[in-house]
């Protein structure tokens, strides 16, 4: 298989500069448990990958203490890699290096524009949800290679949660999947049937009002390796569940972190 990626940018932030002040860093550390990384060296590297159709994919690599990246972060509809601006740093403090990408279906969030989507539109390429599938697959190939050919953790939000479910099922480069608010969002694809008999470690969550639909989506998944967090509080759609601004984010984090640690 031909490799479809290169890195073209260099480190632009280090030692947790990343536009976070010391007080916020201190508060974040207090929220994390004893398994957190003490005094981490965090580097954020802007990276460029190439999708299967040669479209450049913008990404941010969040590396902590020189650890190889193991988590791929995929955003929701209308968003960008900026969805994980703070989440990725928190994952760094938990001991995980990760990569957040711009898929070609998206726009802007947290003052970060989706550069991949802009390029796709400039080239006249389609930017529907399914069109972003190849972007995620190319990023998996890249992260797998960077990680010494070890399987990775695949994380999706909303439409990309559905994509990571179907991509991760049979991809040997993916060892576990986390899906925040997956659903039947993909035109022409029955996600429920596609993920039948899922046998990889799987973490799924959503807002409270989405729980019933998510349960139905997962009705034929192998429950032996399934962690389904059903919030008793309102919650929120997608990976925004992990944002500090979301009520109950600490409960989402507790279960998500436990899942990551169980299969680390």
Q: What pLDDT was estimated at residue 91? A: 98
Q: Can you give the pLDDT of all 264 residues of the chain as single tens digits?
A: 444 444 444 433 433 333 333 333 334 434 444 445 677 899 999 999 999 999 999 999 999 999 999 999 999 999 999 999 999 999 999 999 999 999 999 999 999 999 999 999 999 999 999 999 999 999 999 999 999 999 999 999 999 999 999 999 999 999 999 999 999 999 999 999 999 999 999 999 999 999 999 999 999 999 999 999 999 999 999 999 999 999 999 999 999 999 999 987
Determine the straight-line distance between the first and last CA of the chain, rounded to whole angstroms. Answer: 28
Q: Which residue shows structure tokens 């190319």? A: 138
Residue 264 pLDDT? 75
pTM of the predicted protein model: 0.88
Order of strands across the sheet that contains 202-205: 11-14, 42-50, 56-64, 97-101, 69-74, 152-157, 174-180, 202-205, 226-229
- pLDDT value, residue 36: 53
| 263 φ, ψ (degrees, to nearest 5) | -115, 15
Question: For residue 21, what pLDDT is reported?
Answer: 38
Q: In angstroms, rounded to a whole number, what is the distance separating the alpha carbons of residues 182 and 175?
A: 18
């Amino acid at each position: 298989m031909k490799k479809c990626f290169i890195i073209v940018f260099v480190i632009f932030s280090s030692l947790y500069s990343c536009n976070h002040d010391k007080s916020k860093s201190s508060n974040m550390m207090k929220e994390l448990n004893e398994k957190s990384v003490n005094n981490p060296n965090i580097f954020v590297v802007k990276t460029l990958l190439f999708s299967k159709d040669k479209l450049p994919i913008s990404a941010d690599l969040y590396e902590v203490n020189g650890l190889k990246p193991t988590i791929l972060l995929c955003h929701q509809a209308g968003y960008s890699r900026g969805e994980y601006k703070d989440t990725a740093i928190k994952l760094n403090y938990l001991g995980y290096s990760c990569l957040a990408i711009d898929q070609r279906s998206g726009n802007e969030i947290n003052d970060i524009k989706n550069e991949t989507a802009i390029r796709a539109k400039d080239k006249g390429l389609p930017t529907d949800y399914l069109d972003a599938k190849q972007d995620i697959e190319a990023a998996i190939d890249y992260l797998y290679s960077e990680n010494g050919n070890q399987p990775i953790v695949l994380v999706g939000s909303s439409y990309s949660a559905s994509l990571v479910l179907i991509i991760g099922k049979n991809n040997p480069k993916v060892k576990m999947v986390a899906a925040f608010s997956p659903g039947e969002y993909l035109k022409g694809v029955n996600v429920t049937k596609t993920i039948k008999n899922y046998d990889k470690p799987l973490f799924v969550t959503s807002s409270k009002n989405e729980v019933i639909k998510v349960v139905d989506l997962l009705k034929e998944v192998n429950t032996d390796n399934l962690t389904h967090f059903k919030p008793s509080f309102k919650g929120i759609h997608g990976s925004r569940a992990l944002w500090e601004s979301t009520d109950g984010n600490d409960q989402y984090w507790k279960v998500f972190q436990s899942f990551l640690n169980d299969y680390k």
